[in-house]
Structure 1
């Protein structure tokens, strides 16, 4: 009988001990990197025949061409000589690509940590002419949203590039320091023509060309290249630029950086060394910005990874660059990019469509028209037409009194 009680006590103690041990463990969704050597990665660049877009990203206009990025894969070249019937002509495969800029038939693009340069003077025979290695800190590693931690023990960013992720469920001790928050910092894990012609990107761009300089911005760092010799850019400077930077816009010798927490203003009167002027802070939200005269217009998108507050359009008075201040605010549904053309402000309100505002009085911006039957992500207001991308479609509009009329809608898939 005593043996029975002793055995029962042993079982209860064992169960209690196991329960206590289990309290020290948890199930975690862990992202494990898929790696490729930099040498192999750099050999992937090529010019191919047209192909369908998997995930349309940013748009860029240059002469009679439109460039549409395929997120992290490369750039599709669209011949827009006839806006009613645009036609994809080439695909420039650039792994790890997010942004481009073009000047005088030279296209500059990021490829993970590198800057690559293409000669596009003959669109039927595009050639890679230069690669500057390891000039960028990658700002978007495409970490799966469901990941709660990243296994960094297998990452050697000096010799490898992350090309994908595998997510597994692991049982681990709480506060196990083999895992870190899922953000990156400092390259490691942590939470010619007679007249010069430069292309134009949308409000979601991170690349800007101003005269003989290419400015690029990552999560927290600005990188400046001298492109006086267009085929052989020279890295001139790298500097801290703020935090959580998402976009960059240039106007009148100033750069305006949109971050999740505000807008930073930099002077480029000394072009090789941008000088911090001021910042305008707001609640957390995804934040592209455009500028026209004494006012900056920015959208804040709430929800998901962009913050938990409402989505709005903000008008910022920048007449005094050292003291930007909020002039007015308007509610939106799901805003992304935006653009200005004379007295018209175009706002891409995601699944709520394209919205047109009259900004003749910047302190009293008025909604004049909504094109709700389309999905919109970013716009480029050109001289004679408006380009818009959304829902894997490329839209082109002509300006008419009080709004825009559709020229063409082109499926990118």
Structure 2
């Protein structure tokens, strides 16, 4: 009896599927292609700097450390904004960190990625952060911002040995 039931169920499924209309495949939407933005390691390690404030244009995460706001400028660094008066926030500095997409704080220490490196800053004087430590290759290489393709000439195997990915550009 169980065998007949299985046979009946299979036949019913096949008949039901044959009654479905055929769906023609639609044109596939092409995936975007990206190329990595590369920087020589020696240049990356010299590029971290505290600069005057600048305009926000490609912001990412926001970190609140009362009374300051840290706003990520994707792949470039952090805007440091004095928020003592929330009705009139005042930009005080830009911390250039090539390849930066994420930050966190513990006490007065700020941890930030810079490409595949992890940086530690002393933030006791928030407008004037001090780089304390760089841990090379501590985090994975920066991923592309969305699903896409990396053409062969931009694959990791075809890059200079000392190159670090600090961002991605859509082709």
Same fold? TM cut 0.5: yes
Q: What is the CA distance between 1:84 and its match in structure 2?
A: 1.4
From 134, 137, 141, the equivalent of 2:140 is 137
Structure having the higher helix fraction is 2
Instruction: Give the Å deviation of 1:61.
Output: 0.9
Equivalent runs, 1:191-270 vs 2, <5 Å: none
Distance (whole Å) between structure 1 residues aligned to residue 64 and residue 34 of structure 2: 36
Residues 34 and 166 of structure 1 are in contact (CA less than 8 Å); yes or no, is this contact kept in structure 2?
A: no
For the residues of structure 2 that align with 1:32 and 1:139, how far apart are their CA atoms? 12
* 2:85 match: 82
Structure 1 101/166 Cα, relative in aligned 2: closer, same or farther at 3 Å? closer
Instruction: Give 1:94 shift.
Output: 0.7
1:48-80 deviation per Cα after TM superposition (whole angstroms, max 9, x unaligned): 110001211111111211111111111111111
The corresponding residue for 1:214 is none
Kindly indicate whether the alpha-carbon contact (under 8 Å) linking 2:83 and 2:89 is maintained by their aligned counterparts in 1.
yes
Q: Which residue of 2 aligns with 1:64?
A: 67
Quick check: 1:59–1:68 contact (8 Å CA) kept in 2? yes
Structure 1: where are the runs of 5+ without partners? 1-27, 168-413
User: Of residues 50, 55, 80 in structure 1, which corresponds to 2:53?
Assistant: 50
User: 1:75 & 1:105 partners in 2: Cα distance?
Assistant: 16
SS at 1:92 equivalent? strand
Could you tell me how far 1:129 is from its partner in structure 2?
A: 1.1
Q: 1:134 to 1:94 in 2, by over 3 A?
A: same
Q: Quote how far apart the aligned CAs of 1:47 are.
A: 0.4
Number of the residue aligned with 2:96: 93
Does residue 1:150 correspond to 2:154, yes or no? no
* Structure number with higher strand proportion: 1
The answer (yes or no) to whether the contact 2:39–2:164 under 8 Å persists in 1 is: yes
1:155 Cα offset (Å): 2.3
CA RMSD of aligned residues (A): 2.4
Aligned to 2:165: 162
2:39 corresponds to which of 31, 36, 40 = 36
Q: Distance in 1 between matches of 2:106 and 2:33?
A: 42
The alpha-carbon distance between structure 1 residues 134 and 123, as it changes in their structure 2 partners (threshold 3 A), is same
The offset of 1:125, in angstroms, is 2.6
Deviation at 1:34, TM superposition (A): 4.4
Q: Distance in 2 between matches of 1:76 and 1:127?
A: 15
Instruction: Report the Cα distance in structure 1 between the residues aligned to 2:102 and 2:111, rounded to whole angstroms.
Output: 8
Superimposed CA distance per residue, residues 348-400 of structure 1 (whole angstroms, 9 cap, x where no aligned partner)? xxxxxxxxxxxxxxxxxxxxxxxxxxxxxxxxxxxxxxxxxxxxxxxxxxxxx
Is contact 1:33–1:155 with CA below 8 Å preserved after alignment?
no
Output the TM-score relative to the length of structure 2: 0.70
Corresponding position: 1:126 with 2:129? yes
Aligned to 2:10: none
Query: Which SS does the other structure have where 2:47 is aligned?
Result: coil
Matched residues in 2 for 1:150 and 1:33: separation?
A: 10
| Structure 1 residue 128 displacement after superposition | 0.8
Matched pairs, number: 137
SS at match of 2:43: helix
Over residues 236-255 of structure 1, what are the superposed CA-to-partner deviations in whole Å (9 max), with x where a residue is unaligned?
A: xxxxxxxxxxxxxxxxxxxx
1:109 positional shift: 0.6
